[in-house]
Structure 1
Amino acid sequence: MSEEPTRRPRRGIPDDSIQPGAETADGSALRTAAAEHHPDDTPAPAGQGWSRSSGESADGPAPRRGLIPDDDPATDTPEQDTEPESSEDGKSSTADPDAAFRPPAGKIPRARSHRTGNRRTATPAADRPHRAAEEPGSASPDELVVDRSPLRRPWVWAVIAVLVVAIVVVAVSRLNHQSPITGASVTPTPSSVTPLPQDSLMSAAEVSRLDTKASWKVDDTLSTIPADSTQTISCIVRDADQPTPQSSWQRSFTASTKTATAALHRVDGYADEATAKSVYTQQAASLAACDSVPSLIVSASSVKGLGDEATSLTVAFQGTTIQYRTIVLTRIGREIQAIDASDNHTPIDATAAASAITAAASRGCRLAGGTCPGKVTVSASVPPTSDLPGWLITSDLPRLTPDQGEWQAAAPAGVSSKGTQCEGVTLASASGPRERQQRTYLLYKDSSAPQGFGVDSLRFGFGDAAGAAAFAKKIGDSIASCSKSLTTAKVSDAKSFTGVGEKGAKISGRSFLVTQDAGSGNKAVFQVSVSTVGSSVTYLLANVTTTYRFTDDAWSQLAVRAAERATQAR
């Protein structure tokens, strides 16, 4: 390596002819320049504190060891390295180049205290011999002291120990086929991600689990899915700001049935698992809302054992003909799969849909870096939260006229409903509830609906379940006996219903049809229900007519759904 002049003085670099561990004529080992490379970090000899160097005076610091200054201290002269010539016996043929740096034979330099300065001394060279003479037996001020034992420093051993531990951890992690726990995982670039193969899709034999009595066939298979494709997974809206899949496959199936049974299977592979998680969260939220007209949420299911996360929803498209669709959405590592099974007569069972997609999910799970399917279990659950937790969403309310109607919801507000006049309490001010709110849902775009038709949902909160049960019983009993206290009222269609909310909360309630004589031959007709779940009471009221009303089953299902949603309130 060439030596170039520098403004920073060189620490005493030993001659190449001197090997580490070499001894002087008197047997003393040489010291390396490492002993003075970090003067502030090296501890003083045992029994000594930090002290001024023996060659240092109050006038200024002593000259640095290992540096032979010029007469002019302001000028730096480059040092010249010379290579000693060696004779055939391996010994140098010239004078010992380190002789000037060694103490006289028989004299061992005493330990020096460490100096704190890091600049060249300002003491003229002519004055230095006098200072050196004041210290008999000490090394020359211009002497380069070489310490060849850097491992004596404790911090060196500490660094070595840390490196050894890191190497062992990495080695063990590799042997266990895991990423090193000390480092962050590396996100693969799109070019390094293996595209999902076509066999990630279901086969006709696998999709037949949706209906084992039907004969199934593949209609088409796509590797590029247009953004405006009419074949899409129901309820899942793919926003433009969602990450683009690295690869996609889609396959449609039809069955030989009279009820137009069919299925659509889609598989999307993303750059990494984090991206797939983000997309899955968005798609699951879109599925939970399912707010595309004319969908009605029929039921929901919890799916376990099918990849890393999964959910299922069954909806009804309320057109001229009711079409049921069961959707299963699952994420396996960086892959998202969805199946949409449809039938025009009865809903496809969510268990059958999950079973049909399991084989395809198992084939691609390792390539996708996800959890492979195990024992898949499907159980009924409350539909996932959406919109405002605790309240019905528009997809919970059914249409009353086939292929017509669109529900819209107002924001929750204070209670303003007058009720049916049969409740026996003033809903807006009755004592007992700690809190009360109302949310109104209005139906538009249905030419058969009466003016201002809608549903009022009232929710009352109590301090305990006993208070809620007493309040609900008071309202229910008053409505049931209303015709005895009001001669203008008629109560019919009294029914009881039960259900299960979040975390197994038990739901119980009653529903009625109340008709009031409004005079002049006019009638005011109401469908109402009152239910309890825990410390909450839900009261529903719809201003129907004798010819335009919910079916009894539809009204009971809506009453249960309202109570189910109440268990999701935060």
Structure 2
Amino acid sequence: MSEQGDRTPRRALPPRDDDEFDDAIDDESPAPRRERWEATGPVPDAPAGPAGTPIPPPAVLPVPDIAPASAGRRFSAVDLPADEERPLPRRSALSPAATRAMSPRTPDVAEEAVAPQTRSYRKLFLGSLVALVLAGAVIAAFVLLNPPGSGGPGATPTPTFDPVATYLVQPADLDGVRANTTWEAAATVTEPDASTPAAKCLVPVLESETQPASTLVRTFSPVAGAAAGLLHQVETYASPEEAAAAYEARAAQLGSCERNTAWVEEGKEFTGLADEATGSTVVLQGPDAEYHTIIVSRTGSHVNIVDATQATEPMAVGSLLPAMADTFARQCTDGGTCPSSPAVTAGVPPVNETPGYLTGVDLPRITAGAGAWRGTAPTATVGSPGSRCEAMELKERPAGATTHVQRTLVMQDDAAAPDGFGVDEVLYTFATPEEANAFAATLAGNIDGCAERTGTAEVARTADLSGAGTGLAWVVTRKVDGSDGTVRFRVAALAAGNHVIYLMANPTPEYDFADEAWHGVALRAAERVTQLP
């Protein structure tokens, strides 16, 4: 009997006393010996015949030299060699006594072994069937109680990424931007079109030379209080390199603000906010002024544009920094510089289309709601006549100067402007700051002494200028030769590094810059010089 896979229960028989065999051997009675039962051994004693003559036992066949396939091993198609030791038949784990008990003379043992096995299979089958029925009932009940999409207790939502919540400013981020003001999102655009709001001075995203992979735009308005608005636009590009190029283009657009007739009141410089950032406070000079604080920045592959507006004064850039820092901190998880102690200071506006020189956004309008400044290209051919108090020919290069270049800005589209009204800017470059300072001092001295020297001029110094450059500003009034008429000039001369800036405008008493506005133009010219290539 094989030990492998035998499912018949084993029965334990009591140990057999060896003396029983000894007694059988030593007994001198004629009773036949008792032997263990073996498949090839003699059968037990046969009963005597009717005449008392013993019936001979059946002939015992000789044991074959090679056991058949069924005798003790599994069938194999390969016979063992004659001289090879054959494997012994597998033995049951039963004791010899048990083997003897399973002889043909004890068939009741085999019958008893089959019955429990049959019952075990039946119980196993019935138990499995019950378990399957119960499992099916549980699954059916769960599905009925929690249909797909019901959000039941077993539902596990798949995490989703929300770019609007991650990349855009949220209403809660604007707490503190303006005292006692609660902001709400007025509109959110994920697919811009021609009607999508855009920041002032900047071209709409659909007109940009390099198109971003995606653009999000959101506008905000205060729930109550004075009118105001805020726009946040996020342009996401395929790489930080593409975003860097787009940032430069956006900064240049802000620097010239060709889309609007605006005056850049002040530039803004940032630290600790993003990979790079710039900004300006801009005044739209309509009949009613409108103030915009515009910031362009880049965080990794994201270019951000913020335009905050109010009617009476610019929104403080410092109040916007916390909201921007919170937003950029979410964006920088994609890459880029995360905000760290962001700060802002007044600085030079973004570079314009003529680096180093004044541009239209640097000069305010004279008439509210009318006119626009247009500039000529810088030229080495200087033709400005000046105020005739400079005591030198401005068109000639002074001693020591390496270059002198003129650019003129002219007021257009203002019916109140005198013919030919504009501003001449002449930029002198010297080898050293000392030479520049010496020339500026000579020029200023000549203007200051014009009244005494000519007797036909009135000179009024309006300011000592200090900032990106240092110098003086004047109003000069001269008599017209051969008449009782006069002409009016605004003049400024500043030294900035190894450069000298000379400015001259030709206003009238009725159409003129305010003193403060003219001083601002002169200092802006000194700021622009720092952007020379």
With the length of structure 2 as denominator, give the TM-score of the two structures: 0.66
1:295 and 2:265 aligned: no
**Pick from 198, 209, 213: which aligns with 2:180?**
213
Q: Distance in 2 between matches of 1:378 and 1:394?
A: 25
SS at match of 2:174: helix
The letter for the 2-side match of 1:558 is V
| Residue matched to 1:459 | 427
Q: For the pair shown, which has the larger CA radius of gyration, 1 or 2?
A: 2
The letter for the 2-side match of 1:480 is D
Q: Distance in 2 between matches of 1:391 and 1:289?
A: 12
| Residue matched to 1:515 | 477
The letter for the 1-side match of 2:274 is G
SS at match of 1:296: strand
| Match runs of 1:95-174 below 5 Å | none
Question: How far is 1:553 from its partner?
Answer: 0.7
The letter for the 1-side match of 2:494 is S
Question: How far is 1:213 from its partner?
Answer: 3.2
SS at match of 1:301: strand
Q: Distance in 1 between matches of 2:251 and 2:280?
A: 10
The letter for the 2-side match of 1:509 is G
Q: Check 1:432–1:199 CA distance in 2 against 1; reply closer, same or farther (3 A cut).
A: closer
The letter for the 1-side match of 2:512 is R
- CA deviations 1:301-340 (Å, max 9, x no partner) are 2222223222222211111111111112222222222211
SS at match of 1:365: helix
**Are the equivalent residues in 1 in contact too, given 2:401–2:430 (CA < 8 A)?**
yes
**Are the equivalent residues in 1 in contact too, given 2:252–2:353 (CA < 8 A)?**
no
| Residue matched to 1:274 | 241
| Residue matched to 1:543 | 506
1:198 and 2:160 aligned: no
- CA deviations 1:131-169 (Å, max 9, x no partner) are xxxxxxxxxxxxxxxxxxxxxxxxxxxxxxxxxxxxxxx
Structure 1 residue ranges without an equivalent (≥5): 1-87, 89-192, 501-506
SS at match of 1:447: coil
Question: How far is 1:362 from its partner?
Answer: 1.3
Question: How far is 1:493 from its partner?
Answer: 4.4
| Residue matched to 1:377 | 343
SS at match of 2:440: helix
SS at match of 1:210: coil
Q: Distance in 2 between matches of 1:353 and 1:343?
A: 13
**Are the equivalent residues in 2 in contact too, given 1:328–1:353 (CA < 8 A)?**
no
1:477 and 2:445 aligned: yes
| Residue matched to 1:499 | 467
The letter for the 2-side match of 1:213 is N
**Are the equivalent residues in 2 in contact too, given 1:400–1:550 (CA < 8 A)?**
yes
| Match runs of 1:23-422 below 5 Å | 196-229=163-196, 231-237=197-203, 238=205, 240=207, 242-255=209-222, 260-366=227-333, 368-413=334-379, 414-422=381-389
Identity across aligned pairs (percent)? 33
Q: Distance in 2 between matches of 1:218 and 1:326?
A: 19
The letter for the 2-side match of 1:563 is A
**Are the equivalent residues in 1 in contact too, given 2:201–2:260 (CA < 8 A)?**
no
Q: Check 1:444–1:255 CA distance in 2 against 1; reply closer, same or farther (3 A cut).
A: same
1:444 and 2:407 aligned: no
Q: Distance in 1 between matches of 2:403 and 2:364?
A: 28
SS at match of 2:163: coil
Q: Check 1:418–1:197 CA distance in 2 against 1; reply closer, same or farther (3 A cut).
A: closer
**Are the equivalent residues in 1 in contact too, given 2:269–2:278 (CA < 8 A)?**
yes
Q: Distance in 2 between matches of 1:209 and 1:520?
A: 63
SS at match of 2:520: helix
Q: Distance in 2 between matches of 1:244 and 1:195?
A: 22
The letter for the 2-side match of 1:446 is D
Question: How far is 1:469 from its partner?
Answer: 1.4
Q: Distance in 2 between matches of 1:569 and 1:269?
A: 31
Q: Distance in 2 between matches of 1:550 and 1:567?
A: 25
- CA deviations 1:57-93 (Å, max 9, x no partner) are xxxxxxxxxxxxxxxxxxxxxxxxxxxxxxx9xxxxx
Q: Distance in 2 between matches of 1:358 and 1:486?
A: 60
Q: Distance in 1 between matches of 2:531 and 2:299?
A: 27
**Are the equivalent residues in 1 in contact too, given 2:278–2:350 (CA < 8 A)?**
no
- CA deviations 1:347-382 (Å, max 9, x no partner) are 12222223221111212321x333322221222221
**Are the equivalent residues in 2 in contact too, given 1:328–1:354 (CA < 8 A)?**
no
SS at match of 2:467: strand
Q: Distance in 2 between matches of 1:263 and 1:342?
A: 6
| Residue matched to 1:568 | 531
**Are the equivalent residues in 2 in contact too, given 1:329–1:338 (CA < 8 A)?**
yes
Question: How far is 1:246 from its partner?
Answer: 3.5
Q: Distance in 2 between matches of 1:241 and 1:320?
A: 30
Q: Distance in 2 between matches of 1:257 and 1:532?
A: 49
**Pick from 464, 477, 488: which aligns with 1:525?**
488
Q: Check 1:521–1:208 CA distance in 2 against 1; reply closer, same or farther (3 A cut).
A: farther
**Pick from 383, 387, 402: which aligns with 1:434?**
402
SS at match of 2:491: strand
**Are the equivalent residues in 2 in contact too, given 1:480–1:494 (CA < 8 A)?**
no
Structure 2 residue ranges without an equivalent (≥5): 1-78, 80-159
Q: Distance in 2 between matches of 1:322 and 1:550?
A: 17
Q: Distance in 1 between matches of 2:424 and 2:527?
A: 16
| Residue matched to 2:392 | 425
Q: Distance in 2 between matches of 1:354 and 1:478?
A: 48
SS at match of 2:406: strand
Question: How far is 1:259 from its partner?
Answer: 5.0
Q: Distance in 2 between matches of 1:246 and 1:390?
A: 34
Question: How far is 1:248 from its partner?
Answer: 2.9
| Residue matched to 1:189 | none
The letter for the 2-side match of 1:218 is A
The letter for the 2-side match of 1:555 is W
Question: How far is 1:266 from its partner?
Answer: 1.7
The letter for the 1-side match of 2:303 is I
Q: Distance in 2 between matches of 1:489 and 1:561?
A: 28
**Are the equivalent residues in 2 in contact too, given 1:307–1:332 (CA < 8 A)?**
yes
Q: Distance in 2 between matches of 1:521 and 1:306?
A: 60
Q: Distance in 2 between matches of 1:242 and 1:333?
A: 19
The letter for the 1-side match of 2:213 is Q
Question: How far is 1:563 from its partner?
Answer: 1.3
| Residue matched to 2:105 | none
Q: Distance in 1 between matches of 2:178 and 2:223?
A: 10
The letter for the 1-side match of 2:294 is I
**Are the equivalent residues in 2 in contact too, given 1:326–1:353 (CA < 8 A)?**
no
1:559 and 2:526 aligned: no
Q: Check 1:432–1:365 CA distance in 2 against 1; reply closer, same or farther (3 A cut).
A: closer
- CA deviations 1:220-245 (Å, max 9, x no partner) are 2222222343x211222136353443
Q: Distance in 2 between matches of 1:554 and 1:569?
A: 23
